[in-house]
Chain A
């Protein structure tokens, strides 16, 4: 009796959760409604988690004697896992967001892998389809977990250099093949009752060990700059794994949520790869560092330096200014000072806009978050396609800590490694100022043709220090006028 009532309650709550997830994600498609979107989805999650305790009314007979212990374990696990992640998530710096997403994603993958392991160890699956789906979900979940941990370590700076060995791809191929073969062996011997040589539980251990190692090997050779694409792929992977395990457990909420994220993650991955002018396969199987040599192309002329104060005053008297921020701005923690400077310009009736390249920052959209954190209203922030035509009619462009995304070689120089990458047409403005730590190349190792253009001047120095000088120069003008 209770069991049936519990089932109906769980089913209803899960249905509500799945609907709220979709509704919440839909509301996230605009900055104005996005805040309510995540809260709506959050309500769905709480409902689903709370009602999941009702599973106690329908547990397996074998599990009945352990029920009290299991419930206690569940409460402790929810408290430690949820509470810990919540506390860290509320404190972590916005610049560390990519690695945070990576680690939370890895946790989800691990949970999906754990569910698969339970099914396999307990021999709970029924029939070929369930067993195969469990194995597939387990493989994807485990790869996503160990891969995400490596991605986290790379972004956190724990693993500084991409680790590449000869025959890496061959080795990866061997490991993938081994994981699939062991899965196949588990399936065949499990279904036909053939002698598996070793006990099936041992094979299950081997299967997960190979899958975890494969995730590590697959991620190690990929450079730090490509990590956003990798995180996005693993996000899709975890979604897929959750969806597959949802099928095995007969829980449509997991199937829907997992597959929605799987598709969303896939789309996001493709968008990102396109913005970087790479194919997903190129990101996964080759490395940017290998392609990029010091490349000068047909660049002639020299970089011309100018004073921060001169550049600041020039912008104060311009009619229109577009600012192109890059990760270097965040590295120098200059966002606050930048917005202070922008407010001075706005007060002087200068039209100011921010132009954000899709791959500015270490994750698509991270630059937008960092600007928003500094207080920049989102209606001043424009994306590549929306603003690119405006550069030609703009007085001054200020490039801060960005490099490759404003390199005109991407448009003109067929021999450049970044040829074809969509860039911000900063070079088309009347005057360009580039704030940069010093002479030299960006992380991709490509010389930027923009810096040698006649309409471009360099302002060398730490972004924050330069911005402070600009602010002082413009304030000084105001005092002189008064």
Chain B
């Protein structure tokens, strides 16, 4: 890609190191009760690969490349959309016992989203 920021190997390693550390620290704080939504949430996050697929497909110049690019975008989009759908559904279910009004609101929300989907 023709970004004007030239990335040397060392800068890339810095990015990887910091991002890895950030992931480790953020996830280390998540309570076990949220581990399943978290796994699917992080699964959603790597759905960003669809952007890489878009870059590849738009730059395709042979039928083979078009086919691979098409597949990459298709799979990446599935990863992102599916990951979001299941994570959002799971998280919408978690509610506390105290404010009764709030939980009813939560139910309405699921309903609303179902209609949209």
Smallest distance from the beta carbon of B36 to chain A beta carbons, Å? 4
Smallest distance from the beta carbon of A39 to chain B beta carbons, Å? 7
Smallest distance from the beta carbon of A23 to chain B beta carbons, Å? 10
- Contact call A365/B36, Cβ cutoff below 8 A: yes
Compute the total of residue contacts between A and B using a CB distance below 8 Å. 417
List chain B residues, Cβ under 8 A from A84: 78
List chain A residues, Cβ under 8 A from B51: 14, 48-49, 52, 251, 253-254
Q: Which of A207-234 contact B (CB under 8 A)?
A: 231-232
Interface of A (DSSP majority class): helix
- Contact call B59/A55, Cβ cutoff below 8 A: yes
List chain B residues, Cβ under 8 A from A276: none
List chain A residues, Cβ under 8 A from B73: 73-74, 77-78, 81, 111
Interface size for chain A: under 10, 10 to 19, 20 to 34, or 35 or more residues? 35 or more
List chain B residues, Cβ under 8 A from A63: 58-61
Bound CA–CA A356/B52 (angstroms): 39
A260-B97 contact given A29-B30, A107-B75, A254-B51, CB 8 Å threshold = no
List chain A residues, Cβ under 8 A from B96: 31-32, 377-379
Q: Mark A27-38, 1 if CB is under 8 A from B, else 0.
A: 011111011011
A110-B75 contact given A52-B54, A235-B43, A260-B19, CB 8 Å threshold = yes
B101 within 8 A of A: no
Bound CA–CA A251/B55 (angstroms): 10
A264-B48 contact given A7-B4, A63-B61, A251-B1, CB 8 Å threshold = no
A74-B75 contact given A87-B117, A100-B86, A261-B46, CB 8 Å threshold = no
List chain B residues, Cβ under 8 A from A14: 51
Query: Contact check: which of A83, A85, A256, A373 meets B79 at CB < 8 Å?
Result: A85
Q: Which of A340-376 contact B (CB under 8 A)?
A: 356, 358, 361, 363-366, 368-369, 372-373
- Contact call A89/B24, Cβ cutoff below 8 A: no
- Contact call A105/B60, Cβ cutoff below 8 A: no
**Which of A241-249, A277-285, A428-436, A466-474 lies at the binding interface?**
A241-249
List chain A residues, Cβ under 8 A from B91: 28, 31, 34-35, 37-38
Smallest distance from the beta carbon of B4 to chain A beta carbons, Å? 7
- Contact call A111/B50, Cβ cutoff below 8 A: yes
Bound CA–CA A257/B51 (angstroms): 12
Q: Which of A59-79 contact B (CB under 8 A)?
A: 59-60, 62-63, 65-67, 69-71, 73-74, 76-78
- Contact call B34/A34, Cβ cutoff below 8 A: yes
A11 within 8 A of B: yes
List chain A residues, Cβ under 8 A from B69: 70, 73, 114, 118
- Contact call B26/A29, Cβ cutoff below 8 A: yes
A314 within 8 A of B: no
- Contact call B78/A82, Cβ cutoff below 8 A: yes
Bound CA–CA A475/B75 (angstroms): 52
- Contact call A111/B72, Cβ cutoff below 8 A: yes
Q: Which of B68-96 contact A (CB under 8 A)?
A: 68-96
- Contact call B78/A377, Cβ cutoff below 8 A: no
- Contact call A268/B35, Cβ cutoff below 8 A: yes
Smallest distance from the beta carbon of B92 to chain A beta carbons, Å? 6
Query: Contact check: which of B12, B79, B98 meets A104 at CB < 8 Å?
Result: B79
- Contact call B24/A264, Cβ cutoff below 8 A: yes
A114-B66 contact given A29-B34, A235-B43, CB 8 Å threshold = no
List chain A residues, Cβ under 8 A from B37: 28, 34, 38, 365, 369
A257-B60 contact given A73-B66, A264-B27, CB 8 Å threshold = no
List chain A residues, Cβ under 8 A from B15: 252, 255-256, 259
A378-B33 contact given A63-B61, A118-B65, A255-B12, CB 8 Å threshold = yes
- Contact call B34/A261, Cβ cutoff below 8 A: no
Q: A48-B51, A245-B49, A257-B45 are in contact. List 20 more A-B contacts (CB 8 A).
A: A11-B3, A22-B26, A25-B23, A25-B42, A28-B37, A29-B31, A35-B94, A67-B58, A77-B53, A90-B114, A104-B43, A107-B76, A258-B46, A258-B49, A263-B27, A268-B35, A268-B42, A364-B35, A372-B94, A378-B96
Q: What are 19 pairs between A and B in contact, CB < 8 Å? A: A29-B26, A42-B88, A45-B44, A49-B50, A55-B55, A74-B57, A77-B77, A89-B85, A104-B44, A114-B75, A115-B56, A235-B43, A258-B46, A268-B35, A358-B35, A364-B36, A365-B32, A365-B34, A365-B35
Q: Which residues of A contact B (CB under 8 A)?
A: 3, 7, 11, 14, 17, 21-22, 24-26, 28-32, 34-35, 37-39, 41-42, 45, 48-49, 52-53, 55-56, 58-60, 62-63, 65-67, 69-71, 73-74, 76-78, 80-90, 92, 94, 97, 100-101, 103-105, 107-108, 110-112, 114-115, 117-119, 121-122, 129, 231-232, 235, 238-239, 242-243, 245-247, 249-268, 271, 356, 358, 361, 363-366, 368-369, 372-373, 377-381, 383-384
Q: Which residues of B contact A (CB under 8 A)?
A: 1-4, 7, 9, 12, 15-16, 19-24, 26-62, 64-66, 68-98, 103, 113-114, 117
